[in-house]
């Protein structure tokens, strides 16, 4: 009687392991990676950064130029796939915006687990 229970436990464990490993192959790949972050260099244009990271998640604009409404001195863009994110700051230079600063946060394994299990918003600050 002990052998079937032990076999069931081992088969269940092997099946769970196979599902977890298989799921990692089918998860969509994020553009928020250290490699993409390293490709962004100071002096790059917005278009060059957008080619690397794709569409941004959020943007913030600072220092509207008085004689040219809708044009700002500083633009900060956010690319976010929680818990990972990249922010890039652009400054107006003549007729274009160029990268002046960048920042990255790659989630810890604990943050990754929380977000993958759907507990991200609830446990984000824990």
CA dist 49 and 37 (Å) reads: 10
To the nearest whole number, what is the mean pLDDT of the chain?
Answer: 81
Residue (of 55, 53, 58) closest to 37 by Cα position: 53
Report whether 83 contacts 89 (CB < 8 A).
Answer: no
CATH 3.30.1450.10, domain 30-123, yes or no: yes
What share of the chain in percent tops pLDDT 90?
37
What's the pLDDT band for 126 if we cut at 50, 70, 90? Answer: very low
**Do residues 97 and 45 lie in contact, with contact meaning Cβ atoms separated by under 8 Å?**
yes
CA 9, CA 6: separation in Å to the nearest integer? Answer: 5
pLDDT of 72: 78
Task: Answer yes or no: is pLDDT of 60 > 90.
Answer: no
Phi, psi of 30 (to 5 degrees): -85, 150
As a whole number, mean pLDDT of residues 60-79 equals: 79
Distance, in Å, from the CA atom of 17 to the CA atom of 80, rounded to the nearest integer, reads 29
């Amino acid at each position: 009687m002990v052998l079937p229970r032990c076999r069931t436990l081992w088969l269940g464990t092997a099946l769970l392991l196979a599902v977890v490993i298989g799921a990692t192959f089918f998860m969509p790949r994020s553009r928020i990676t250290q490699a993409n972050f390293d490709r962004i260099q100071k002096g790059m244009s917005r278009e060059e950064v957008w080619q690397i990271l794709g569409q941004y998640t959020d943007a913030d604009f600072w220092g509207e130029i008085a004689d040219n409404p809708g044009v700002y001195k500083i633009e900060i863009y956010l690319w976010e796939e929680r818990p990972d994110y990249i922010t890039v700051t652009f400054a107006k230079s003549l007729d274009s915006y160029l990268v002046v600063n960048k920042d990255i946060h790659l989630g810890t394994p604990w943050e990754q687990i929380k977000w993958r299990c759907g507990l991200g918003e609830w446990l984000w600050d824990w």
